[in-house]
Structure 1
Amino acid sequence: MQILDRPTHPIKSALAMVTKPFMNKARPVNTLTIRPAHPNDAPIMHNLLKKLADSLGMGHLFTATVADITRNGFGHCPYYHTLLAEYNEQIIGIVTFMKSYSTFNGQPYLYIDSLYVEDIELGENLHVGQKLIAAVCQKAIEQQYSRVDLHVPDWNPHQALYENLDMQRTGHIPYQITEQAMRTLAESLNG
């Protein structure tokens, strides 16, 4: 899919910009393209995800390898999917997302796990973050999912982006059970 290079604000306008890719190999200069990642993109995906972790002050928690990304992000039944933003044949943004399910409304939905834009100034001018989210929304519509969710830290400086896209705060507080706590809890069943 190709997303045209023009500013938009509401999500409906961003979705309207999603078009089919050019059939020829030559791309116009200064064009932003949103495309699915391929296994040979794993090294650049690793680099962008590491930069995201570093930008969040969580680089010390980033342990994924290129092999992990290749094994888990591609193949017959990948754990997650990735879209890349490419500008002038250079990858400048990434969004990873996965399927989930709500037992409350009995509907599947997509969950955005990671969203990162390499060059903040260029990304803001091209609305790359917005267009990556719009592309995930397009996937959700195509696959008849009920919504798109994501979690961001309350100190995230880009919250205005999400609010401009009409995303709603859920009021939920995310919790996480890490590996050691998970093992301890699981072992408590035996004792």
Structure 2
Amino acid sequence: MLKIRPAQESDVDAIFDLIRGLAAYEKLSDRVTGNTELLRSHLFGERPYTEAIVAELGDLPIGFALFFPTYSTFLTQPGIHLEDVFVQPEYRRQGVGKALMNFVAQIAHSRGCGRLEWSVLEWNQNAIEFYQRFGATVLPDWKTCRMSAETLAEIAMKPQID
């Protein structure tokens, strides 16, 4: 029986294993530089930065979603950014991904969010089609921008006003 529930601190090791599974699927395993203790502190520490939900079959964690709050100045409403949603390959096409997405959407709705947003890799046509079937719009005119920790450190060391 499938169960979707908020993550508990005891789930951190399983969630990190699922994160590794996601990275392997996306051919990005070399980019996983974090660890379970950082994840634990970011999910359950003094100042949580993110939340997670877990999909279980029996006692076996088979998927997860990780998300955090955002804010839209145009809507003047909170939102949620879905950082990752992942289901182990052998459990796909059984409604697990949809159940995870539904759970996050329900959280967003209950919190009065104006939107739920996430990114998808251009090559991941299966995910794009899944999200579109779910009711999402893939925005063609937006690109993700990112600064690395190294760039942030460089900027932090520069004078604020030139």
For normalisation by structure 2, the TM-score amounts to 0.92
Letter paired with 1:103: T
Q: CA RMSD in A?
A: 1.5
Structure 2 counterpart of 1:155: 123
CA deviation profile, 1:81-121 (whole Å, cap 9, x unmatched): 10000112211000000000011111100110011101x24
Structure 1 counterpart of 2:39: 69
Alpha-carbon distance in 1 for matches of 2:138, 2:131: 9
Q: Could you say what secondary structure the match of 1:129 adopts? A: helix
Q: Which runs of 4+ in 1 moved over 3 A?
A: none
Conserved? CA contact 1:42–1:69, under 8 Å: yes
Structure 2 counterpart of 1:8: none
- Higher relative contact order by CA 8 Å / sep ≥ 6: 1 or 2? 1
Q: Could you say what secondary structure the match of 1:149 adopts? A: strand
Q: Could you say what secondary structure the match of 1:189 adopts? A: coil
Task: Give unpaired runs (5+ residues) of structure 1.
Answer: 1-30
Query: Does residue 25 of structure 2 align to residue 50 of structure 1?
Result: no
Conserved? CA contact 1:98–1:110, under 8 Å: yes
Conserved? CA contact 1:46–1:64, under 8 Å: no
Task: Give unpaired runs (5+ residues) of structure 2.
Answer: none
CA shift in 2, pair 1:76/1:187, >3 Å: closer
Q: Could you say what secondary structure the match of 1:60 adopts? A: helix
Q: CA deviation at 1:76?
A: 4.9
Structure 2 counterpart of 1:129: 97
Larger of the two Rg values belongs to structure? 1
Alpha-carbon distance in 2 for matches of 1:39, 1:123: 25
Q: CA deviation at 1:64?
A: 1.5
Q: CA deviation at 1:153?
A: 1.0
Alpha-carbon distance in 1 for matches of 2:159, 2:41: 32
CA shift in 2, pair 1:187/1:77, >3 Å: closer
Structure 2 counterpart of 1:105: 75
Query: Does residue 33 of structure 2 align to residue 33 of structure 1?
Result: no
For normalisation by structure 1, the TM-score amounts to 0.78
Structure 2 counterpart of 1:14: none
Conserved? CA contact 2:77–2:112, under 8 Å: no
Q: Could you say what secondary structure the match of 1:111 adopts? A: strand
Q: Could you say what secondary structure the match of 1:168 adopts? A: coil
Aligned length: 159
Alpha-carbon distance in 2 for matches of 1:34, 1:60: 29
CA deviation profile, 1:55-102 (whole Å, cap 9, x unmatched): 112111111211111111014541111000011221100000000001
Percent identity (aligned): 25
